[in-house]
Chain A
Amino acid sequence: MTTAGPATATAVQTDLDESAAPGRNPARQRTSWLLTIFVLICVGYFLLPLFWLVVASTKSNADLFSSFGLWFANFNLFENIKNVLTFQDGVFIYWVINSAIYAVVSAVGASFLSTAAGYGFAKYDFPGKAVLFAITLGAIMVPIAALTVPTYLLFARAGLTDTYFAIILPSLATPFGVFLMRVYAADAVDNALIEAARVDGVGELRIFFTVALRLLLPGSITVLLFSLVATWNNYFLPLIMLNTAEKFPLTVGLALWQSTAAGGSGSRALFSTVITGSLLSIIPLVVAFLFLQRYWQSGLATGGVKA
């Protein structure tokens, strides 16, 4: 980087907690109770649906209709969970496993590809670099969802629809991840270190795998987490690509149950199952998210500060 200003990647590894920002002392500011109360009311809005989901998951189908939505009735959570896990021969368990496979394989792959490419762009000068990077940046703005229908048609010709590849392959291409990793690699890997390794006669790729990769890891984990969420939450792509219920991820499966539940009074009994299934489906990500928040925030910092 030629300009060392506020927008350097030091922010990348900084925990965003108050204590971690040097030279800042927000505690000195007088507390504004008006501001605090207003923001906390808004926080109530953000937590309301999640609170409702927890409450509704503990209710039997009959209680959903007969009791007030935002408070508990008879505790029926375990019965509901049993219903979720056994309904339609336990297809929900397939969905959980599928979501995990799609998300983990895509995220690890996308993260590795982005890391290698980002490092290549940051640390090497090579013919065609400017054009290739410009194409990558331009693609950040390509509406991927608008590409899903043509991708499906291509995959249908290649016989790839209704396979795991149909979900994983499109999820591997993350231009924004390459951009993030280029910015990250520029500062995280010292050029002197690379030069020193070269002088020692270490090959270029070995430098990447043995020296650079370790330094790039925090950035790579950030890209990994974002791809993980993007794939875990994706609905449009699997909806189009998959036909077999046993290959669905959670999103497609739950949406299917929801439409069955809404379909007729005969299947009313499904409501509590859909709701409890939704609760179960968000627990892994919400937990991962709370424990790994440092990476989320620092990753967004790289993108937001540097863009």
Chain B
Amino acid sequence: MSTLVNAAPEVATSAPRRARLTAAKRRQYGAAYVLVLPFFLIFVAMVIVPLVYAGYLSFFRKRLIGGTSFAGVENYVKALTDPLFLSGVGRMAIFLVVQVPFMIALALFFALALDSGMMKLAKFSRLAIFVPYAVPGVVAALMWGYLYGPDFGPFAQIGRALGMGPPPFFSQTGMLFSIMNIVNWSFIGYNMIIIYAALRSLPSELYEAARVDGASEPRIAWSIKIPAVRPALLLTVIFSVIGTFQLFTEPKLMATLAPNVIGTAWSPNLYAYNVAFVNQDANYAAALAFLLGIVIMIVSYIVQLSTQRKERSS
């Protein structure tokens, strides 16, 4: 995350003379390690070790006869040609080009609307849009699942009353949008608050002159405010990319309502779960998890790179 590194504060201690370690310096090193190490111990145990272990497992196979043996890249070859895994990744790619831009655009729009000072009830609106973030994904999926539902879902009730029958929330394509809607509902507010906070911290001199010159509010938003909050936007996009590829809760809960539509591999994470716990194939699941991680890293990196290039060229 090069942008994050650049933003990191400068070293705060007084300019160190590179001569020899004074006693004070040594004491400070010691203190720094004592402060940083507890986090790092947990971090290594809970992030690095599982990562390495997943990598290790992914190069083995386990057979009922013959036990565990080295498999080389067999699991990876299998994953890259596994239609179930690839279809899940493809679905997440659709999310990435449809749901994520839609979500960020709406979040940006709400943030700009709240920041423009042109709204009544702005504080109430801000809270109401953000409140779904406090609702667990399980409950969000559960509520929307019942709302979509053909039995007592209000949409189905309205549809029936109008003589049209229930809307196809649980059809093959319908499900894609149904789940996109749950994710949007949960996270638009969260992203809005990140962008809104960035907007609030802009000094008003930045656009007061434009306002005096008669620039319209949308024009100010487009030409001044949006470029100024680009770092915040990048943060929301990267978090969304990471979140999208890890989608699990929503399809898992929808699977109980529409098992045939969701299947075992609707999202890559759901597939890895099913491979590990239903098929009991830890080695293949590890390879899937590892590949998924690599895909996420690559996409986040591309997102960062493309925005940096834009910044340089502008």
Contact = CB atoms under 8 A, between A and B. Distances in A.
Given A28-B117, A36-B119, A43 B125 contact: yes
B136 A49 contact: no
A307 B35 contact: no
Contacts of B19: none
Interface in B275-304: 276-277, 282, 285-286, 289-290, 292-293, 296-297, 300
Interface stretch (B70-78, B83-91, B93-101, B150-158): B150-158
Contacts of B197: 11, 16, 297-298, 300-301, 304-305
A47 B143 CA distance: 12
A33 to B, nearest CB: 8
A8 to B, nearest CB: 8
Name the prevailing secondary structure of the B interface residues: helix
B111 to A, nearest CB: 10
A255 B134 contact: no
A113 B39 contact: yes
B248 A145 contact: yes
B4 interface: yes
A27 B36 contact: no
A183 B194 contact: no
A31 B118 CA distance: 4
A301 B37 CA distance: 27
B210 interface: no
B35 A235 contact: no
Interface residues on A, range: 35 or more
Given A65-B151, A173-B42, A297-B193, A304 B235 contact: yes
Contacts of A137: 1, 4-5
A285 B188 CA distance: 18
Interface in B104-149: 106, 110, 113-125, 127-140, 142-147
Contact of B134 (A32, A195, A286): A286
Contacts of B157: 68-69
Contacts of A6: 201-203, 206, 228
B117 A126 contact: no
A138 B51 CA distance: 13
A117 B36 contact: yes
Interface residues of B, number: 128
A127 interface: yes
Contacts of B122: 18
A88 interface: no
A285 to B, nearest CB: 4
Interface in A15-38: 16-18, 21, 23-33, 35-36
B132 A46 contact: yes
Contacts of A149: 54, 272-273, 276, 282, 285-286, 289
Contacts of A211: none
10 contacts: A26-B116, A40-B125, A49-B132, A125-B16, A125-B28, A136-B43, A147-B47, A236-B273, A254-B142, A282-B134
Given A122-B12, A258-B142, 16 more contacts: A25-B117, A46-B131, A49-B132, A50-B143, A52-B146, A119-B35, A146-B293, A149-B54, A154-B50, A182-B8, A236-B248, A236-B249, A285-B134, A286-B131, A300-B194, A307-B7
